[in-house]
Structure formats: C-alpha cells, structure tokens
Structure 1
Amino acid sequence: MAQTLYFPLLLIALCSISECVQRQYHFINENKTWTEAQRYCREKYTDLATVDNMNDTIQLNKSVNDVRLWIGLQRKWQWSSGDPELFLNWESGQPDGKDECAFMRHGKWHDGKCSDTWFVICYNMSRGLVFVNQTMNWRAAQSYCRQNHIDLVSVRNQNESQQLEKFINDSIPSRSDVWIGLFRDWQWSDQSNYSFSYWNTNEPNNYGNNENCTVLKENTNGHWADISCDCQFPFVCHEDKLIVIQQNLSWSEALRYCRQNHVDLVSVQSVEMQYKVMNVVKLASTGAVWLGLRHSCALGIWFWVSGQTVCYQNWAPGNGTSEEDCEPTVRSGAVQSGGDQTWISRPETDRLNFICRNY
C-alpha cells in the first residue's frame, strides 16, 4: 500500500479586502482518480486544492515540483443562473465533449459552439418564460437575458423541461433550436470563483474531447494541464482555517455545531482576522452570519466565546452598545455578508449561516 506523506504548507496570509489566503495544503502521495481524490479530501480535510493566486502556486511548487498531481479544477456543465445541475435531459450521444454551450432541440439538449446563433429563451420573475424573437450567440443571449430579464432559462426537473418544450412549440412554429442557460466551464471543487489561471503553454487543449480535470504538471514551475479525470495521480488537499457553514441555525445551535465538528465559532480580534472573515463570508446564503460574539446582560459587556475580551471592534453604527435590550432574548453578534461587512447585534434565536474556525 502506498505510503501517505503529509506536507503542511502554511500559506502567507495576503490580506486585503479583495483577497486573503487562509488555507493549509496537504500533499497526499497516493494514486487516485480525480473523483477519488476529491472524495478523500472532502472526508479528511476541506476539498481538493484550490489555487487562487501566484502565492499558492509558489508554495506548492516548492515542495512538489517533480510530480504530476491533481488539483480541484474541473470542467463541468453548469447553469448560468447558478442553479444546481440536478436534472439531465441530453439527447442520445450528447454531450460529445467538443463544445461548451447547450441548446434545446425537440425537447432534448445538445452541446454546440457558443458562437452559433439561435433563438433565445429568457426567464423573468414576473412573466416566467420569455421568447426572444432574434438569433444571437450564447454569450450575447446570456447578456441580453441578464440585462432585460433575470437570466437564460434553467431546466431543473422533468416538469420544467416539459413546460419549456410546450412553450417553444407554441412560440416558434418552426420549432427552431433555442439557447438555454447551460454551459461548460472550469470550476473549483469547493465552488470558489475561477478568476486566476496558470495554464501551461497550449493548455487546456481537451485532447480526445475528454480532458475535463486539471493537474499541476511536473517540472513546469506549477503550470496546469488538462487531462482525463480517470487517470491516477497523487493530489493536494486544502484545509480552510475558516469555513462558512451554509445552514440556518440559532446562535446556540451554531456554537454547538462548530465545537462538535470543528473548533469553535470564529473570534475576530484584529483587522487582519476581519479581512479573513470578509473573504469567506461572501459564500454565505444569509444576509448576516454568526460570529462567536455574545452579550452578557448581567455584566453589560460583549465578549468572545473563546474567552477573549473585545479589543478590536468593527460594529455598524448603532450596534454593539453595552445597553442591549435583553428582552425577549439574549443578543449575539453577526457580520453582514454584504455591504461593508460590519458587525451587527441580533437576537440569538435568529437563524443564520455561521463561521467556524479549524484551528
């Protein structure tokens, strides 16, 4: 059995409002397919490695320059609206792996060149499906729908597929092909934004129309190459020091969850830690996110559940006073997931996402 080697690579925290690296990398010297590696990393750590910037690349390259290994970047089909791809309705033999955008023909999906021009179906919150009676390429169709409606149409289940097919038949007598909001692009396994790339020369090339996963290519200073997901290589996992839990729990439930599954609710004791919180809180699905911040009605003070006093403060105006209204429930602290991402006081019974720390 292959020996497993662990090389923790503690990254330098590059703290700015837009970017703050807060990961620990672990090199796993076992040969696995990309999917097997992803499963291993999610069970043992956080996920297959995300590489956000040159600092990540340099740190990885220092320790594992002479071996080809998986990272968490995969080319996959996704909806323009961000809806999860749970329902599949491809025509037989589709997708063939050659193209990146999807259209609907006779009720079935086909992949095609994004530069092709077809009619368009948008989705509007109040009107539902909207037929656009002009042809355009997929990117232009996406832009048009986002500017004038909500987005290109998503198809999330069999019922929506049948409704869309009927709408097309009623709206377009010739039953022409129409763009839907499905497209294929690179995506990180942990759902991080794909904004940084470091492809090797002439990569990605999708050789054989089947190269949908990514390796750090050996002896290329950390450059990437696309390759079949069925190949077997060692891999790199990452472990987030801060993690947003997208479950809506009360403050007490969130505290219990973090202590049972991680270490604790996060404490924010400096502007550097606030930047780290600001970097991860954008992943939340609620307008505010619980911190490990609690108000004592008896003492009239705020404190961190880690036992630290509140030295650094980032309260929104009108929040964080010592004279909190303790009726009908105790107040706890949360960080806004939008705007200036300042702290606010909320009843502990509110149900929000929350941030756990893994250290």
Structure 2
Amino acid sequence: MECPRPEWKQRRETNTCYWFEDGDRLPQYKADERCRRYDGKLVKIDDAEECDWINGNVIPDLSSQIGGGNGRSFYMGLKRDGADQWRWELDNTIISWPGNWDAGEPNNHRNKENCVIIYESTGKWNDVMCGDSFHYVCEYQIPPQ
C-alpha cells in the first residue's frame, strides 16, 4: 500500500506517511479534523529517531519546494493535560522521551500554552495557545497487508 495522497512522504521502515500542510493555517482542533479526513492524525513523534527522520527527510523537502525556510510552524498532536503533563492526543499516552524542545520551552506563557508546534527552520518544538492558527503535520499509518 501507499500513502493516501501523492504529497505525503513515506517512511518505509515503519510504513508511516507524513504530510506537512503548508497551505492552510488552522487552530489545533481544526488541523486535527483535517488530518482525520485522510484517515490520519496530527503527528505523534514516538522517539528521537522518528524526530530525526522527520527533521532530516520531510522538513528539507518542504523547504526546498518553497525556496528555503520561511519561519513557518506546524502543529503536532501533543497537548498539555490538566495535570501539567504532555500527552499524545492519538492514544492519550504521556510523552515517553524528552522531546525536541527549543531553548526555554515549554514555558506555558501566561498559563495558556497547551499545544505544540514544530519550527520549520530548526525542527525544534514550542508550546503555543491551541486557538492560534498554524500549519500542521499529519501522520498516516499504512495498514498491514
């Protein structure tokens, strides 16, 4: 099987596809709805290896298509819960590795930053308000045959 759309990038060793939506800018909940239209979800980055793969394979492809990074940011599927823990929305699990946070992050500025974005220019993460509009990263798991 293949990815649901031609613009998705496949990581063959895990049968996972990724799509950085760089056209629409949406609040986090709308971005999640859009991913689900393609049977995907906002990306869950399980470990440093997956993070490195995304930063090394998907982000450079995106940047080259538009002539270099332009400071865009992309939602992922990580949110702060009421107990101040970071959980993946897909399966409600607590993040199991330190993450790829930018310096000084997460900082929960004004106690309102409960969602996470990836900076295109660095691949680093930042906590933001969920109602702010950003691009987003969808993930799709190719079903076993």
The one of 124, 139, 143 equivalent to 1:238 is 139
d(CA) in 2 for partners of 1:193 and 1:206? 17
* Equivalent residue number for residue 11 of structure 2: 11
d(CA) in 2 for partners of 1:22 and 1:232? 29
- Preserved CA contact (<8 Å) 1:6 1:26: no
d(CA) in 2 for partners of 1:10 and 1:71? 17
Matched, 1:188 2:88: yes
* Equivalent residue number for residue 60 of structure 2: 62
Which is greater in Rg?
1
**Aligned residues: percent identity?**
24
- Preserved CA contact (<8 Å) 1:47 1:72: yes
d(CA) in 1 for partners of 2:56 and 2:96? 17
d(CA) in 2 for partners of 1:207 and 1:185? 15
Distance 1:188 1:60, change over 3 A: farther
- Preserved CA contact (<8 Å) 1:24 1:240: yes
* Equivalent residue number for residue 141 of structure 1: none
Q: How does 1:196-235 map to 2 (within 5 A)?
A: 196=97, 197-220=99-122, 222-235=123-136
The one of 19, 30, 33 equivalent to 1:36 is 30
Distance 1:229 1:6, change over 3 A: farther
Residue identity opposite 1:224 in structure 2: W
- Give structure 2 stretches of 5+ with no counterpart: 64-68
d(CA) in 2 for partners of 1:213 and 1:59? 24
TM-score (norm 1): 0.33
TM-score (norm 2): 0.77
- CA deviation map 1:301-322 (0-9, x unaligned): xxxxxxxxxxxxxxxxxxxxxx
Kindly indicate whether structure 1 or structure 2 has the higher relative contact order, using CA contacts under 8 Å at least 6 residues apart.
Answer: 2
Deviation at 1:43, TM superposition (A): 2.4
Over the aligned positions, Cα root-mean-square deviation in angstroms equals: 2.1
Distance 1:187 1:64, change over 3 A: farther
* Equivalent residue number for residue 311 of structure 1: none
d(CA) in 2 for partners of 1:6 and 1:71? 21
Q: How does 1:138-217 map to 2 (within 5 A)?
A: 183-191=83-91, 194-196=95-97, 197-217=99-119
Runs of 4+ in 1 over 6 A off after TM superposition: none
Q: How does 1:291-306 map to 2 (within 5 A)?
A: none
SS of the residue aligned with 2:100?
A: coil
d(CA) in 1 for partners of 2:134 and 2:77? 13
- CA deviation map 1:261-318 (0-9, x unaligned): xxxxx44xxxxxxxxxxxxxxxxxxxxxxxxxxxxxxxxxxxxxxxxxxxxxxxxxxx
